[in-house]
């Protein structure tokens, strides 16, 4: 049940008919039933955790309202321990146990910790952060607890963004879902987001992904030019895959009269690390800022305190992406970039460089990070970086001969062209999906119709035989 599957198309059509024919409380009940049906299609067992998280934070938030301070802190800890405890058990138990076993084995100690066969529910990291953010906001008295369990359940399980975000704030999404029963609130510009998102995911990301998978499967046996091109291709793949999901989610929300936040703002137009996190996965970066970085002390205190807060935030942000050391190192890499960007004189030095050149140079730095993210292990990441960055590994003549002998020259040219086009547009224009849709929706309706239909047809025409799931479903 992914947005680009035939099953989802059938589900969406049935839901659209019923949604249009209902209003008021029945429409809100329909939305909740559809969201639970959508999520239960992955695995019915996941519904118990989703419902449990919903009930926990709904009643904790209600109890927080008007409670005295000592009891408020205890209630908040119930929510934090309940949400993060389940997440840690299901997502990180095996990682921490295996890491501890390897560490003890290196010290000459042999242990056999219990092995738990656990299934990681799709999207648990996203809805856990969303419900936890709501409870923290109520604790901080930034949001009044809702009295409607139905509206709160819709807030947690809203199917367009349930399994891969964006991670919405209660102050933004809850009031909209409370009004979703009103008739005539849909925004047809949602079709523009859906069409662009589907094309990015199916036509671009999925086809690039096949190339990236081959190159990264055995990096020690892959020619350096192919590894470099595959690294650039992955940068485009993960952007088109994840932002494609977010675009479709935003589009579906708009058709229902719900405005979801824009999760991407042309990230490869970033001129530095701070700018990158204002553009990439904005809902997560702002969540980490508001609920982790600032409570740690944020930018207050001395230089070392700020650097510590940045590194802790990015290390945990890396770990959020997956239970593996290469994700932790990826987080540390971006933490180090943020620390360096705050070094004395760094901003003045960077300001002397033309903006387009800063974007181009920083994109190369981001791609170094993508090697850490994409490689299966830290050993593979090291192999890729050594083969790409060491001039002695570059045997262009042998690589070109191999490409010609395998009749792959045209394929390689297409891959390189797609990468250059996607990255080039961002570097030169900094246009994001929202800007493109706004421009499209100012055109005559017939132009809109042809563009949307053309993008959707192109997505179907260029789709692989078996489109893979969205990358961020694993997180």
Long-range contacts of 68-77 (CB under 8 A, 24+ apart): 72/139, 75/139, 76/135, 76/136, 76/139
Task: Determine whether 65 is an active site residue.
Answer: no
Q: Which residue has the tokens 């770990």?
A: 319
Report d(CA 301, CA 472) in Å as an integer.
35
418, 236 contact by CB (below 8 A): yes
Give the C-alpha distances (Å, rounded to integers) separating 434 from 202, 439, 460: 19, 9, 23
Give the C-alpha distances (Å, rounded to integers) separating 144 from 58, 85, 171, 259: 12, 25, 9, 21
End-to-end C-alpha distance for the chain, whole angstroms: 17
253, 179 contact by CB (below 8 A): no
- 11-48: b (≥16 Cβ within 10 Å) or e: bbeebeeebeebbeeebbebbbebbbebbeebeeebbe
Mapping DSSP to helix (H, G, I), strand (E, B) and coil, where does residue 260 land?
Answer: coil
Report d(CA 455, CA 192) in Å as an integer.
9
Give the C-alpha distances (Å, rounded to integers) separating 149 from 20, 29, 56, 77, 84: 23, 11, 11, 21, 22
**Is 458 exposed, middle or buried, given 0-12, 13-18 or 19+ CB atoms closer than 10 A?**
middle
Report d(CA 251, CA 196) in Å as an integer.
10
Per the omega criterion (within 30 degrees of 0), is the bond before 187 cis?
A: no
* Residue in 143, 321, 326, 334 annotated catalytic: 321
Report d(CA 157, CA 36) in Å as an integer.
7
Q: Which residue has the tokens 């405890």?
A: 85
Report d(CA 326, CA 37) in Å as an integer.
35
- 59-82: b (≥16 Cβ within 10 Å) or e: bbbbbbeeeeeeebeebbebbeeb
Residue 440: count of CB within 10 angstroms of its CB: 17
Q: Where in the sequence numbering do the catalytic residues fall?
A: 321
């Amino acid at each position: 049940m992914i947005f680009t599957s035939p099953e989802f198309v059938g589900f969406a059509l049935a839901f659209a008919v019923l949604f249009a024919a209902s209003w008021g409380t029945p429409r809100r009940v329909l939305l909740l039933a559809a969201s639970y049906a959508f999520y239960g299609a992955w695995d019915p067992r996941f519904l118990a955790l989703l419902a449990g998280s919903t009930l926990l934070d709904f009643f904790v938030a209600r109890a927080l309202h008007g409670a005295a301070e000592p009891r408020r802190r205890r209630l908040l800890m119930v929510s934090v321990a309940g949400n993060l405890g389940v997440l840690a058990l299901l997502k990180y138990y095996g990682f921490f146990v295996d890491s501890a076993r390897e560490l003890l084995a290196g010290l000459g100690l042999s242990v056999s910790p219990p092995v738990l066969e656990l299934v990681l529910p799709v999207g648990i990291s996203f809805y856990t952060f969303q419900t936890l953010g709501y409870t923290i906001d109520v604790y901080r008295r930034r949001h009044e607890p809702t009295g409607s369990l139905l509206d709160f359940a819709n807030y947690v399980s809203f199917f367009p963004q349930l399994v891969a975000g964006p991670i919405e704030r209660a102050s933004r999404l809850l009031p909209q879902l409370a009004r979703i029963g009103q008739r005539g609130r849909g925004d047809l510009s949602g079709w523009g987001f859906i069409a662009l998102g589907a094309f990015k995911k199916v036509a671009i990301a999925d086809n690039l992904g096949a190339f990236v998978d081959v190159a990264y499967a055995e990096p020690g046996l892959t020619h350096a030019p192919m590894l470099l091109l595959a690294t650039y291709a992955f940068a485009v793949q993960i952007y088109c895959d994840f932002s494609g999901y977010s675009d479709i989610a935003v589009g579906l929300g708009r058709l229902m009269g719900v405005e979801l936040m824009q999760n991407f703002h042309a990230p490869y137009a970033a001129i530095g690390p701070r700018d990158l996190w204002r553009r990439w996965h904005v809902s997560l970066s702002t969540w980490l800022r508001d609920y982790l970085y600032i409570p740690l002390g944020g930018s207050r205190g001395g230089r070392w305190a700020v650097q510590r807060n940045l590194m802790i935030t990015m290390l945990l942000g890396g770990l959020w992406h997956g239970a593996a050391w290469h994700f932790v190192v990826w987080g540390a890499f971006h933490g180090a970039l943020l620390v360096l960007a705050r070094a004395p004189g760094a901003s003045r030095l960077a300001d002397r460089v033309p903006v387009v050149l800063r974007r181009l140079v920083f994109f190369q730095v981001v791609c170094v990070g993508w090697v850490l993210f994409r490689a299966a292990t830290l050993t593979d990441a090291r192999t890729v970086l050594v083969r790409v960055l060491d001039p002695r590994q570059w045997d262009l003549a042998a690589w070109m001969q191999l490409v010609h002998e395998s009749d792959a020259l045209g394929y390689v040219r297409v891959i390189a062209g797609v990468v250059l086009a996607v990255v080039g547009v961002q570097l030169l224009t900094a246009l994001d999906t929202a800007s493109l849709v706004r421009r499209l929706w100012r055109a005559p309706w017939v132009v809109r119709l042809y563009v949307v239909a053309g993008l959707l047809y192109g997505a179907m025409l260029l789709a692989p035989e078996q489109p893979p799931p969205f990358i961020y479903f694993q997180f």
